[in-house]
Amino acid sequence: MKYSVYLFFSWYLINTSMMYANSITKVVIPMAGLGTRVLPLTKSVSKSMLAVVDKPALQHVVDEALASAITDFCFIINTEEQEAIEYYFSSNTPLDAVLKQRNKTYLLAQLNESIARSSFTYIPQPEPLGLGHAVLMAEEFVKPDQFFCVMLPDNIIESDDPHMAHLIALAHHYNASIITIEEVTKQEASLYAVITPKQFISDDLIEVGDIIEKPKPDQVQYCLGQVGRHVLSVDVFDALKRIGPGVGGEIQLTDAVRLMIQEGKRVLAYKLHGKRHDTGNIRGLLETTVSLGLHNPLYRPMLLSLFENEMLKITT
């Protein structure tokens, strides 16, 4: 009988204190893109550092990683943005001293705790040649580990348990690479990497038979699109070195995963449980900020009051 992998691993993570999660500690976060979909906001600020409620988008992703026992971060970055991001994820002793003097250390307490628990590596990407190229640049950072995580910073996942922790547990349990998928419409499928199932292990977990980046409508049978969370084996690096440019003339991570599958490497797909917020465009950035703000008890009353007042102005 099929069962819910999500329910099983929710119980599993709680009752094992993330035993498995502790052994995969490295994550690659590619963010060297130009952020053209959110210009002019990104003319002088990294897309990953745009504010979402009370902290940058990137910190939301770092928080999910830390909650999944990931502590080693590799940012694939463009050189123009590196200084600001490196400054953000570093201790600032003079500022901490001022905040302590004013009894306001709580303002940076969470960030400082995250910095203390983490190590950060920065690898400049000379030009944005695709997600696959960005991941390949992190090969020396990952090895000699067998598995590592990839998290896209413009995807913020809101869920009861940290989503990446579930992926890590599943990767260990099945000794396989695993990607995150969600159901998309037929019209949306051409915007995603879409999988073809080989077998359904459960309602939530699928063994992948094929995966195609931005498929044409006649190539789509199941509307299951890949989204921005992965746990990959180091086999992906060899595959990335052997593929050529794909869709858009870029080195596509999807094509490397597809080659792994064709050569007999096991890849699983896990359905997202929770809400994925896309901050990669203006509409998504606004929706994410409003949604997360309303779901935060600290800001909900203020936002509701603001919306009520503005609606009264519009309707009167």
Q: Tell me, what's the pLDDT at 5?
A: 53
Query: Once rounded to an integer, what is the mean pLDDT over residues 62-79?
Result: 94
Q: How confident is the model at residue 16 (pLDDT cuts 50, 70, 90)?
A: very low
Distances (CA, A) of 37 to 33, 54, 57, 139, 173: 10, 22, 15, 29, 38
Q: Has residue 203 got a pLDDT over 70? A: yes
Distance CA 164, CA 179 (A): 10
Q: What does residue 273 show for φ and ψ, rounded to 5 degrees?
A: -110, 110
Which of 32-46, 97-111, 179-193 is modeled with the greatest confidence?
A: 97-111
Q: How confident is the model at residue 302 (pLDDT cuts 50, 70, 90)?
A: very high
Q: Tell me, what's the pLDDT at 51?
A: 92
Q: Has residue 216 got a pLDDT over 60? A: yes
Q: Tell me, what's the pLDDT at 283?
A: 93
CA–chain centroid gap for 291, Å, is 18
Q: How confident is the model at residue 19 (pLDDT cuts 50, 70, 90)?
A: very low
Q: Has residue 9 got a pLDDT over 70? A: no
Among residues 122, 124, 116, 12, which one has the least CA distance to residue 71?
116
Q: How confident is the model at residue 32 (pLDDT cuts 50, 70, 90)?
A: confident
Taking only the tens place, the pLDDT of each residue in 228-261 is 999 999 999 999 999 988 888 889 999 999 999 9
Least confident of 147-151, 216-220, 277-281, 298-302: 216-220
Q: Tell me, what's the pLDDT at 234?
A: 95
Percentage of residues in the chain having pLDDT higher than 90: 66
Query: Once rounded to an integer, what is the mean pLDDT over residues 113-125?
Result: 94
278 in Cβ contact with 288 (< 8 Å):
yes
Distances (CA, A) of 72 to 49, 177, 219: 19, 19, 38
Domains of the chain are 5-280 (3.90.550.10), 281-316 (no CATH)
